[in-house]
C-alpha cells in the first residue's frame, strides 16, 4: 500500500530534477502507463448554501478527507481539511454562478520526514451550473474552473500554480416520488472530469476522473443527507505514465438555511416561475 | 328733490313690496286693517277696525269682508260671491248687519251704461239682514233666498221674517218657501204659542197645524183633502216640565213618542218641521260667521215645553254598561264574521254555518232594540221619554227568540234565551235591556268559543299541511344534496351518508306519530333540523377542498439550491397535524356516528370555526402554541389550545 505514496513523493521530488534533466538529456519514453494500486479514503462533506437575498447565496463547504494508513484503511489519517467559500448568484432556476476562494489544509500523509506536516493550498474558483429538469430527473452540468496555488511540505518548497478545468455531469433521480421533494430518496450518479494545466503540468493533464454514485434523502427543502461511493482515476502530476486510483466512500450533508428576515422571504419564493 | 339712485330703488322696493300686503294705520287705540282676509271658508278682501287685547284680535268698529271675482263670474265655474258687512263694539256685533251669499254666473251679456260695463248676473242669492244689540238680535231679521236672472229677481225661494227682542223671538213670525208658508207666534219669553199653521198656495191652503199652549205642543193636525189627522202630543198637563229648544232633538222626541203610542197612521213627515229645519240652516250660516268673529250666537231660539225625566245615576251606569256590552258583542261578532277561514269553513260545515248565522242574527236582529235605545241616548232624547212600560214594551224583543238557518238538508231552527221567555220586564226600565244584552253577549261568546275550537282544529290542520309541505321540501333537498355529495370517494362519504340516514330515521319517527300537537311541533323542529343538516352536509362535503386549501396555505415554496428546485415545505406542522390528523377526523367520526338534530348545527359551526381558525393561525405568531401542541392528540384539548371556541349549545 505504500507504493503510491512513494510514487507521489518521488513525483514531487522529481519536479525539479526533470527540469534539470531536460536541459541535459533526452528522457526515455515509457512503453506503457502504470495503474497504481487504489487508495482508500473517506470523505465527510458538508455543503452549506446560505441564502442571503433573493438571488445571492453564500456557499460554505467544509470537507473532511481521511485517508488510509498502513494499519487503517479509509480513515487512518486526516489528509485534507477543505474549506470552500463563494458567493453564488442565482440567475434562474436553470442557471447559477459562483465565485469564491478555497483554503485547503494539506496534511502530510507520507512516511517520509517533512519540515511541515500541514501546508495551505489556495484557490480562486468560479463555477457555472446548469440545471435541466428532465421528467422527474434533474440533470446538472457543472463547469468549475479553479486557479490553484499549492506547495510541498518542505520549508523550501515554492507554491506552484495550476489551473483546473472541471466538468461534471450529475443526475438526481427521485425514488418513489414524481419529483425531488422533501421526504424523498434519490440516486445521484455523477461523473466529473478534472483536467489541469499550468507550467508544472507536463504530461498529466487528466488530474482526475471521478465516478460517484450517491444515495440521498431529502429531509426538508433545507436539509438533505446522502452517502455514496466514488471511484476516481487520474494521472500523477510528476509522471503522466502513472495513474492513481481511489475508492472513496463519501458522506454528504447538505444544508441551506435562509438568512433573510421572514418579511423578505415570501415574495421571492417563486423564482421566475 | 333729487334722490340718489339707491334711495329710489329702496323706495320702490319698499313700496312695491308692501303694496300687496295689508298695511295698517294705527289709530290711538284702534287699528285699521285693509287687505286680504280669511274667515272660515270665506276668503276675500277685508276692511275693519280692531284692537289687540291680550294677543286676541277684538273687532271694534265697522267691518266689511267681501269677495267678488269678475273672472270667475265670466268663467263656467261661476263666482262664489259674498259680502259681510256690519259693526262691532268691543267685540260685540251691533247695529245693522248685512249678509249676502251669491252663487252667480254671467249670462254672457253686458252693456255699457254711463261709461261703466254692466254684466248681468244669474244665480241664487241668500240675503240676511237685521239688527243686533250687544250681540243679540233685535227687531226683524229677514232671511231671503232669491233666484236672479239678468240681475233681476225671478223668484223668492225662501223667506223668513222673525222679530226678536234681546235675542228672543217675539210675536208672530213667517217662514215661507216656494209654495208653503208657515205662520206662527211666540209669547214674550219665546215660547211657542197658539196655532202654528202651514199653508200652501192651493185653495183651502191650510195643510198642517201645530197647537201650542204656552210652549206645550198639544196636538198636530195634518190636513189632507179636508180630512183631519189629529195626533195628540202632550194632552195632559206636564208633570216634569222643562223648556227646550224647538230643534232636531224635539222633533225626534216627537217621532219616538208617536212610535211608542203605536201610532203608525202617519210618520212625522211634518211640513212645519221641514220648514223649521230649512230656516235653521240659513240661520246657521250667519251664526257661524258671527260666532267666529267673536260675537254671541244668535240662532232663533224657538222655545217649547216638554216632559223631562232626567237620567239618574243608576240609569247612566246601566246605559254605559249597555254601550260597553254592545261594543263587545260587535267586536266578537266582527271577529266571527270577518274571519276568512271561518267563512271558508262555513261552506262545508253546516254546524259552523249555523253558528255564524245565529251569531249574526242575534247581533243584528235580537239586539236591535238595544241599539235603538242607545241611539235615543246619544240623541239626548232618552231624558225626554219616560222609561216606563211603554218604552220597555217597544224595545224589549220577543223573549222567545228563534233563529232559522236555511241549510241544504232543511232549515234548522234553534231557540235562544228561553230563560227570558217568562220573565216580566214590567218596570224594569233600562235594566231589562241590560239583561237581554248580557244574555245575548254570553250566547255570542259561547258561539265564538265553539267556533274557535273548530277553527283551531281546522287552522292547525291547514298549518300542519303547510308545515309538512315545507318539511318534504327540505327533506327532498337534503336527500338530493347528500345523494350527490356522497358520490365523492373520500373520507367524508360515510359522514354524509349518515346525515341522510339520520334524516330518514327522523322522518320515519315523525310519520309514526299520531298526536296532532306533537306532530306540529316535531314538523317545525325537523324543518329546522333538516335545514341545519343541509348546512352541515355542505360543510362536511367541503372538508377535502378546505383541507387542501389549508394545506396549501400552510405550505411554503422553498428554493433548494442543491436540487435547484422549489420544494413545498409544510409550516407550523404541529398545527396542521392537529387539524388534519386529529380534529377533522374527530368531526367526521362524530357526524358519522353521533349525529342528531340537536348537534348538527353545532358540528357545522365547529367545522366552520376550525377552518376559520386555521386561516387565522397561519398569520399569527405560534411558536409558543406549537410547543404546547407537542404530543397532544386529544381533540378537546387541541380545540382549546388552538382557540376554537366551543359553541354555545343553546344556539
CB of B371 closer than 8 Å to CB of B362: no
Which pairs from B31-38 meet CB under 8 Å and 24+ separation? B37/B65
CB of B597 closer than 8 Å to CB of B526: yes
Of A172, A270, A271, the CB nearest to B563: A172
Chain B residues inside the 8 Å CB shell of A88 = 561
Q: Which helix (H) or strand (E) holds B171?
A: strand B168-177
Q: Which helix (H) or strand (E) holds A36?
A: none
- The Cα B651–Cα B636 span in angstroms is 20
pLDDT higher than 90, residue A149? yes
Contacts of B480 (CB under 8 A, 6+ apart): none
Hey, what's the cell of A87? 458567493
ipTM value, please give it: 0.84
pLDDT at position A105 is 94
pLDDT at position B414 is 67
Chain A residues inside the 8 Å CB shell of B565 = 93, 131, 133, 138, 179-180
Tell me how close the Cα of B544 comes to any Cα of chain A, in angstroms.
22
Gyration radius of chain A over CA positions: 21
Burial of A131: CB neighbours in 10 Å, binned 0-12, 13-18, 19+: buried
- Report the predicted TM-score, pTM, of the whole model to 2 decimal places: 0.46
pLDDT higher than 50, residue B648? no
Whether B561 sits inside 8 A of A57 (CB atoms) is yes
- The Cα A43–Cα A68 span in angstroms is 12
Hey, what's the cell of B509? 319517527
- Name beta bridge partners: A49: A59
Hey, what's the cell of A103? 483554503
Contacts of B12 (CB under 8 A, 6+ apart): none
Whether A51 sits inside 8 A of B559 (CB atoms) is yes
Tens digit of pLDDT for each residue in B264-273? Answer: 544 556 778 7
Whether A96 sits inside 8 A of B561 (CB atoms) is yes
Whether B564 sits inside 8 A of A224 (CB atoms) is no
Task: Report yes or no: B620 at the A interface, CB cutoff 8 Å.
Answer: no
At B15 the three-state DSSP class reads: helix
Contacts of B340 (CB under 8 A, 6+ apart): none
What does the H/E/C string look like for B509-562? Answer: HHHCCCCHHHHHHHHHHHHHHHHHHHHHHHHHHHHHHHHHHHHHHCEEEEEECC
Of B557, B558, B565, the CB nearest to A180: B565
- The Cα B463–Cα B458 span in angstroms is 8
Whether B569 sits inside 8 A of A221 (CB atoms) is yes
Task: Report yes or no: A218 at the B interface, CB cutoff 8 Å.
Answer: yes
- The Cα B12–Cα B8 span in angstroms is 6
- Name beta bridge partners: A130: A95, A141
The mean pLDDT value for A223-245 works out to 94
Name residues 225-254 of chain A within 8 A of B (Cβ): 254
At A141 the three-state DSSP class reads: strand
Percentage of chain A exceeding pLDDT 70: 85
Chain A residues inside the 8 Å CB shell of B562 = 47, 49, 224, 254, 256
CB of B218 closer than 8 Å to CB of B211: yes
Average pLDDT across chain A, whole number: 87
Interface with chain A: mutation pick from B560, B568, B573, highest number of A CBs within 10 Å: B560
- The Cα B339–Cα B316 span in angstroms is 34
Of A129, A182, A254, the CB nearest to B569: A182
> What is the largest distance, in Å, between two alpha-carbon atoms of chain A?
71
CB of A48 closer than 8 Å to CB of A255: yes
pLDDT at position B243 is 83
The mean pLDDT value for B8-24 works out to 42
pLDDT at position B403 is 63
Hey, what's the cell of B45? 278682501
Through-space distance between the first and last CA atoms of chain A, rounded to whole angstroms: 53
Cα B255 from chain centre: 32
Tens digit of pLDDT for each residue in A65-108? Answer: 999 988 888 888 899 998 999 999 999 999 999 999 999 999 99
Nearest Cα to Cα of residue A190 among A139, A225, A233, A254: A139
Task: Report yes or no: B556 at the A interface, CB cutoff 8 Å.
Answer: yes
Task: Report yes or no: B567 at the A interface, CB cutoff 8 Å.
Answer: yes
The residue of chain A nearest to residue B560, with distances taken between CA atoms, is A221
- The Cα B293–Cα B84 span in angstroms is 11
Q: Which helix (H) or strand (E) holds B348?
A: helix B340-348
CB of A248 closer than 8 Å to CB of A42: yes
DSSP state, residue B105:
E
- The Cα B192–Cα B213 span in angstroms is 8
Backbone angles phi, psi at B448, to 5 degrees: -65, -45
At A164 the three-state DSSP class reads: strand
Degrees, nearest 5: CA angle A142-A144-A148:
160
Whether A138 sits inside 8 A of B567 (CB atoms) is no
Average pLDDT across chain B, whole number: 80
Whether A270 sits inside 8 A of B569 (CB atoms) is no
At B168 the three-state DSSP class reads: strand
Degrees, nearest 5: CA angle B32-B38-B42:
125
pLDDT category, B17, cuts 50, 70, 90?
very low
The residue of chain B nearest to residue A219, with distances taken between CA atoms, is B569
Whether B558 sits inside 8 A of A138 (CB atoms) is no
pLDDT higher than 90, residue B305? no
Nearest Cα to Cα of residue B517 among B451, B449, B597, B459: B459
- The Cα A101–Cα A192 span in angstroms is 20
Tens digit of pLDDT for each residue in B98-138? Answer: 888 888 877 777 777 777 777 777 888 889 898 888 888 88
Chain A residues inside the 8 Å CB shell of B559 = 51, 90, 221, 256, 269, 271
Size of interface A-B (CB pairs under 8 A): 69
Chain B residues inside the 8 Å CB shell of A97 = none
The two beta strands, A242-255 and A39-51, are: parallel
Task: Report yes or no: B623 at the A interface, CB cutoff 8 Å.
Answer: no
Of residues A266 and B594, more confidence is placed in B594
The residue of chain B nearest to residue A254, with distances taken between CA atoms, is B562
Which of A78-92, B339-353, B361-375, B471-485: highest mean pLDDT? A78-92
Interface with chain B: mutation pick from A190, A221, A262, A265, highest number of B CBs within 10 Å: A221
Task: Report yes or no: A222 at the B interface, CB cutoff 8 Å.
Answer: yes
- The Cα B594–Cα B590 span in angstroms is 5
Interface with chain A: mutation pick from B552, B561, B566, B573, highest number of A CBs within 10 Å: B561
Whether A221 sits inside 8 A of B567 (CB atoms) is yes
Whether A222 sits inside 8 A of B560 (CB atoms) is yes
The mean pLDDT value for B570-592 works out to 91
pLDDT at position A41 is 95
pLDDT category, B415, cuts 50, 70, 90?
low
Whether B561 sits inside 8 A of A221 (CB atoms) is no
- The Cα B542–Cα B481 span in angstroms is 13
pLDDT higher than 80, residue B12? no
Whether B563 sits inside 8 A of A269 (CB atoms) is no
Tens digit of pLDDT for each residue in A12-67? Answer: 444 444 444 444 455 677 889 999 999 999 999 999 999 998 899 999 999 999 99
Whether B563 sits inside 8 A of A218 (CB atoms) is yes
pLDDT higher than 90, residue A254? yes
pLDDT category, B150, cuts 50, 70, 90?
confident
Degrees, nearest 5: CA angle A54-A59-A61:
155
The mean pLDDT value for A186-215 works out to 95
At B413 the three-state DSSP class reads: strand
pLDDT at position B5 is 56
pLDDT category, B18, cuts 50, 70, 90?
very low
Name residues 125-164 of chain A within 8 A of B (Cβ): 129, 131, 133, 138, 140
Q: Go through B388-399 and write b for each residue having 16 or more CB atoms within 10 A of its CB, e for each that does not.
A: eeebbebbbbeb
At B144 the three-state DSSP class reads: strand
CB of B260 closer than 8 Å to CB of B390: yes
pLDDT category, A10, cuts 50, 70, 90?
very low
pLDDT at position B646 is 58
- The Cα B291–Cα B571 span in angstroms is 95
Chain A residues inside the 8 Å CB shell of B556 = 265, 269
> What is the largest distance, in Å, between two alpha-carbon atoms of chain B?
140
Amino acid at each position: 500500500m505504500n507504493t503510491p505514496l512513494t510514487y507521489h513523493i518521488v513525483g514531487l521530488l522529481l519536479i525539479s530534477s526533470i527540469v534539470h534533466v531536460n536541459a541535459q538529456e533526452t528522457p526515455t519514453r515509457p512503453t506503457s502507463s502504470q495503474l497504481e494500486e487504489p487508495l482508500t479514503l473517506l470523505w465527510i462533506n458538508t455543503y452549506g448554501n446560505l441564502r442571503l437575498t433573493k438571488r445571492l447565496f453564500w456557499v460554505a463547504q467544509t470537507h473532511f478527507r481521511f485517508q488510509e494508513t498502513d494499519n487503517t484503511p479509509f480513515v487512518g489519517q486526516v489528509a485534507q481539511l477543505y474549506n470552500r467559500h463563494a458567493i453564488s448568484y442565482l440567475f434562474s432556476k436553470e442557471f447559477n454562478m459562483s465565485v469564491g476562494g478555497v483554503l485547503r489544509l494539506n496534511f502530510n500523509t507520507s512516511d517520509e520526514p517533512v519540515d511541515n506536516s500541514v501546508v495551505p493550498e489556495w484557490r480562486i474558483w468560479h463555477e457555472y451550473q446548469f440545471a435541466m429538469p428532465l421528467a422527474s430527473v434533474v440533470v446538472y452540468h457543472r463547469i468549475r474552473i479553479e486557479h490553484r496555488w499549492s506547495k510541498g511540505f518542505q520549508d523550501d518548497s515554492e507554491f506552484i500554480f495550476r489551473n483546473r478545468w472541471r466538468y461534471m455531469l450529475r443526475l438526481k433521480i427521485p425514488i418513489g416520488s414524481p419529483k425531488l421533494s422533501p421526504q424523498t430518496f434519490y440516486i445521484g450518479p455523477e461523473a466529473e472530469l478534472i483536467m489541469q494545466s499550468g507550467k508544472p503540468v507536463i504530461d498529466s493533464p487528466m488530474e482526475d476522473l471521478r465516478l460517484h454514485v450517491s444515495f440521498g434523502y431529502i429531509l426538508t427543502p433545507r436539509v438533505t443527507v446522502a452517502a455514496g461511493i466514488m471511484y476516481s482515476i487520474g494521472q500523477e502530476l510528476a509522471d503522466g505514465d502513472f495513474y492513481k486510483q481511489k475508492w472513496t466512500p463519501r458522506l454528504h450533508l447538505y444544508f441551506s438555511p435562509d438568512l433573510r428576515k421572514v418579511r423578505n422571504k415570501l415574495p421571492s419564493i417563486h423564482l421566475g416561475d | 328733490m333729487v334722490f340718489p339712485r339707491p334711495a329710489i330703488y329702496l323706495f320702490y322696493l319698499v313700496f312695491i313690496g308692501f303694496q300687496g300686503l295689508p298695511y295698517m294705520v294705527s289709530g290711538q287705540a284702534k287699528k285699521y286693517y285693509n287687505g286680504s282676509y280669511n274667515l272660515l271658508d270665506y276668503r276675500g278682501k277685508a276692511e275693519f277696525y280692531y284692537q289687540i287685547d291680550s294677543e286676541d284680535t277684538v273687532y271694534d268698529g265697522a267691518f266689511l269682508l267681501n269677495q267678488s271675482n269678475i273672472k270667475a263670474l265670466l268663467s263656467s265655474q261661476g263666482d262664489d260671491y259674498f259680502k259681510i258687512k256690519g259693526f262691532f263694539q268691543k267685540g260685540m256685533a251691533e247695529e245693522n248687519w248685512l249678509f249676502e251669499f251669491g252663487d252667480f254666473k254671467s249670462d254672457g251679456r253686458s252693456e255699457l251704461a254711463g261709461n261703466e260695463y254692466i254684466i248681468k248676473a244669474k244665480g241664487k242669492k241668500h240675503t240676511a239682514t237685521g239688527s243686533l244689540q250687544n250681540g243679540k238680535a233685535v227687531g226683524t231679521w229677514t232671511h231671503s233666498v232669491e233666484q236672479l236672472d239678468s240681475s233681476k229677481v225671478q223668484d223668492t225661494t225662501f223667506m223668513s221674517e222673525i222679530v226678536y227682542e234681546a235675542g228672543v223671538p217675539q210675536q208672530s213670525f213667517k217662514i215661507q218657501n216656494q209654495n208653503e208658508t208657515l205662520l206662527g207666534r211666540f209669547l214674550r219669553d219665546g215660547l211657542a204659542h197658539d196655532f202654528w199653521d202651514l199653508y200652501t198656495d192651493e185653495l183651502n191652503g191650510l195643510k198642517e197645524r201645530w197647537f201650542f199652549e204656552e210652549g206645550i205642543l198639544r196636538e198636530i193636525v195634518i190636513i189632507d183633502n179636508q180630512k183631519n189627522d189629529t195626533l195628540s202630543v202632550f194632552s195632559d198637563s206636564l208633570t216634569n216640565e222643562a223648556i227646550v229648544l224647538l230643534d232636531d232633538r224635539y222633533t225626534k222626541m216627537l217621532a219616538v213618542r208617536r212610535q211608542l203610542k203605536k201610532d203608525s197612521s202617519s210618520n212625522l213627515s211634518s211640513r212645519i218641521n221641514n220648514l223649521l229645519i230649512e230656516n235653521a240652516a240659513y240661520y246657521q250660516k250667519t251664526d257661524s260667521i258671527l260666532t267666529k268673529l267673536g260675537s254671541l250666537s244668535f240662532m232663533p231660539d224657538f222655545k217649547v215645553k216638554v216632559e223631562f225625566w232626567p237620567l239618574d245615576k243608576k240609569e247612566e251606569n246601566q246605559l254605559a254598561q249597555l254601550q260597553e256590552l254592545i261594543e263587545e258583542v260587535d267586536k266578537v261578532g266582527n271577529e266571527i264574521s270577518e274571519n276568512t277561514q271561518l267563512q271558508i269553513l262555513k261552506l262545508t260545515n253546516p254546524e259552523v254555518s249555523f253558528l255564524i248565522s245565529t251569531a249574526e242574527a242575534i247581533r243584528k236582529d235580537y239586539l236591535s232594540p238595544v241599539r235603538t235605545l242607545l241611539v235615543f241616548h246619544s240623541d239626548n232624547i232618552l231624558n225626554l221619554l219616560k222609561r216606563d212600560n211603554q218604552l220597555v214594551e217597544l224595545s224589549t224583543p220577543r223573549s222567545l227568540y228563534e233563529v232559522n238557518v236555511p241549510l241544504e238538508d232543511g232549515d234548522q231552527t234553534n231557540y235562544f234565551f228561553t230563560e227570558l221567555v217568562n220573565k216580566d220586564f214590567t218596570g224594569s226600565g233600562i235594566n231589562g235591556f241590560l239583561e237581554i244584552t248580557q244574555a245575548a253577549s254570553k250566547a255570542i261568546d259561547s258561539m265564538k268559543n265553539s267556533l274557535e275550537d273548530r277553527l283551531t282544529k281546522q287552522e292547525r290542520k291547514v298549518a300542519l299541511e303547510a308545515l309538512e309541505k315545507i318539511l318534504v321540501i327540505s327533506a327532498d333537498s337534503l336527500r338530493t344534496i347528500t345523494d350527490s355529495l356522497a358520490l365523492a370517494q373520500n373520507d367524508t362519504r360515510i359522514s354524509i351518508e349518515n346525515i341522510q340516514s339520520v334524516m330518514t330515521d327522523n322522518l320515519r319517527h315523525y310519520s309514526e306519530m299520531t298526536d296532532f300537537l306533537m306532530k306540529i311541533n316535531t314538523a317545525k323542529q325537523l324543518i329546522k333540523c333538516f335545514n341545519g343538516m343541509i348546512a352541515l352536509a355542505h360543510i362536511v362535503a367541503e372538508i377535502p377542498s378546505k383541507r387542501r386549501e389549508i394545506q396549501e396555505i400552510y405550505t411554503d415554496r422553498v428554493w433548494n439550491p442543491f436540487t435547484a428546485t422549489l420544494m413545498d415545505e409544510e409550516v407550523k406542522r404541529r398545527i396542521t397535524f392537529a387539524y388534519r390528523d386529529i380534529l377533522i377526523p374527530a368531526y367526521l367520526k362524530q357526524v358519522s356516528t353521533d349525529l342528531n338534530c340537536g348537534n348538527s348545527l353545532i358540528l357545522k359551526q365547529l367545522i366552520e370555526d376550525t377552518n376559520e381558525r386555521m386561516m387565522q393561525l397561519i398569520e399569527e405568531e405560534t411558536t409558543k402554541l406549537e410547543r404546547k401542541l407537542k404530543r397532544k392528540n386529544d381533540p378537546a384539548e387541541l380545540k382549546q389550545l388552538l382557540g376554537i371556541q366551543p359553541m354555545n349549545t343553546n344556539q
